[in-house]
Structure formats: C-alpha cells, structure tokens
Amino acid sequence: MSEKLIRVLVAKPGLDGHDRGAKVIARALRDAGMEVIYSGLRQTPEQIVAAAVQEDVDVVAMSLLSGAHNHLFPKVAKLLAEEGADDVLVMGGGVIPDSDIPFLKENGIAEVFTPGTPTGEVVNYIKNNVR
C-alpha cells in the first residue's frame, strides 16, 4: 500500500551553528515527498552514523560552513562503511572550495553542493542516485 519513501538524515556535523542551509534543504526534501530526519546541531561523526543506521536512511546530507569539512565528512563516510552501510548516499554542502571536492569524492562523499545550488538540483540528485 504505502510506497517506499526516500529517507534522508540532514545532519550538522561539528560546531558550526549556521543551520539556514540545512533547514532549507530539510524543507525542500520534505516538500519533494521525502522523510527527513533532522539531527540538530553539533553532531559528532559517530552520532551521525548511529542515527543514520538506526533510521535506515538512504541518504546522509551534511551541511557545514566552518571549514572543517575535510576532517568531518570523510569520517562519516568511513564510519558508515564500517557499519556495513556503505550503500548510503553521503552528500555534503556548505562553504566548500572547489579544490577540496576531489579529495572529498575520493573519500566517500558522493556529491558536494556549494553555495547557490538550487534545492531542486539536490532533490533531483537524490532521486536519481538512491538505489
């Protein structure tokens, strides 16, 4: 009866408190018919992964503006893989210089969205890439 809905964990890793982007994305994904679990601020990679596993999400979408992405994003991807959840689509967004993107992609981040990306693009990306 009920069809499968895409479940997304929108997470704020690290200490950055700017959640405008995360909230906008959360609402946009909801309006696109997805189930969004919002982590709240200041989550460690371990907490994010625990939530992702328990919630059986298809996607983990992280937003970070503090510049700590190279440290935090790959850690989340690595811990997910350790839990056997490497089929989860891991995405990142925020103030991320283009030159960091190859490094992030090599380290388990499927896609990186920089400022100014329309939310529709994120929605489409998820719809096209969730298994």
Interatomic CA distance for residues 86 and 78, integer angstroms: 8
Q: Which is nearer to other proteins, 85 or 130 (CB)?
A: 85
Rounded least distance, CB 90 to other proteins, Å: 16
Which tokens hold the place of 4? 């499968």
The binding site for other proteins (CB under 8 A) comprises 1-5, 7, 14-20, 23-24, 26-44, 46-47, 50-51, 53-56, 66-68, 70-72, 83-85, 95, 97-99, 114-116, 118-120
Rounded least distance, CB 117 to other proteins, Å: 9
Q: Are 73 and 62 in contact (CB under 8 A)?
A: yes
Q: Which is nearer to other proteins, 15 or 129 (CB)?
A: 15
| E strands in the chain | 7-11, 35-38, 59-64, 89-94, 111-113
Rounded least distance, CB 110 to other proteins, Å: 19
Tell me which H or E stretch contains 97: none
